[in-house]
Amino acid sequence: MAHYCVNCGSELVHREIEGRSLEACPNDDFVLWRDPKVATAVVVESDGGIVLGRRAIEPAYGMWCLPGGFVNDDESPVEAAVRECLEEICAPVVVTGLIGVFHISKQDAASLIGLGYHAHLVDGHSPAPGSEMLEVAVFQLDALPPLAFSSHRQIVGEFIQSRVPPGAEEPLRAAAGAPRALPPSPARGRSPRPHRR
């Protein structure tokens, strides 16, 4: 598909720039750089677990994911993370730290730079589904549903690892030691409860 210069409207032509073949204007210095988009995903802690939403939109309709989304040009990534939580899980959050920065490579669209944050709900607030979610729920870390996106799986994985105290061997046991007791869990192959000492 042809692309056109945002300055003068000329049809772009392929040009070798910094070792890459890019579309550029033959008349001025406009280059259609293939830049990544910036998105956030937020691990919101609540009741010893994390808040997930089940998607009411494509892609991955019906699957669970972290709240998050694209960063707008006029907001910081943390502001974007807080806004997306308000929109998707209808609850104010306090962002408490960065889990990591991830590159999500895409062939059919701009690749993403994903910023994984951890946060907690503002006291007295509970999550509720926004318009892009069918439902929201709090899941314990050892009973998470399949997540829609590999980047979200990676962010949650690193979040769980980051919670392991030095010397501890089993991250999920550490997670189960969160302040509140686990709710009754459905029967599973392994007990999620901490071992008795």
Q: For Zn ion, which is the closer residue by CB, 9 or 165?
A: 9
Does the footprint of Zn ion cover residue 75 (CB under 5 A)?
Answer: no
Contact yes or no for 38/70 (Cβ under 8 A): yes
Does the footprint of Zn ion cover residue 57 (CB under 5 A)?
Answer: no
CB of 12 to Zn ion, least distance (A): 8
* C-alpha span between 69 and 80 (Å, rounded): 8
Q: For Zn ion, which is the closer residue by CB, 27 or 185?
A: 27
Does the footprint of Zn ion cover residue 3 (CB under 5 A)?
Answer: no
Q: Which backbone phi and psi does 83 adopt, to 5 degrees?
A: -60, -45
Q: For Zn ion, which is the closer residue by CB, 3 or 20?
A: 3
70-89 residues labelled b (16+ CB within 10 A) or e (exposed):
ebeeeeebbebbbebbeebb
Does the footprint of Zn ion cover residue 25 (CB under 5 A)?
Answer: yes
Does the footprint of Zn ion cover residue 8 (CB under 5 A)?
Answer: yes
Binding to Zn ion (CB under 5 A) within 26-55 occurs at 27-28, 30
Does the footprint of Zn ion cover residue 12 (CB under 5 A)?
Answer: no
Q: For Zn ion, which is the closer residue by CB, 10 or 111?
A: 10
* C-alpha span between 53 and 103 (Å, rounded): 22
Does the footprint of Zn ion cover residue 161 (CB under 5 A)?
Answer: no
Does the footprint of Zn ion cover residue 7 (CB under 5 A)?
Answer: yes
* C-alpha span between 91 and 73 (Å, rounded): 23
Does the footprint of Zn ion cover residue 5 (CB under 5 A)?
Answer: yes
Strand partners, 118: 43, 97
Q: Where are the alpha helices (DSSP H) in 89-177?
A: 150-162, 171-176
Residue ranges binding Zn ion (CB under 5 A)? 5, 7-8, 10, 25, 27-28, 30
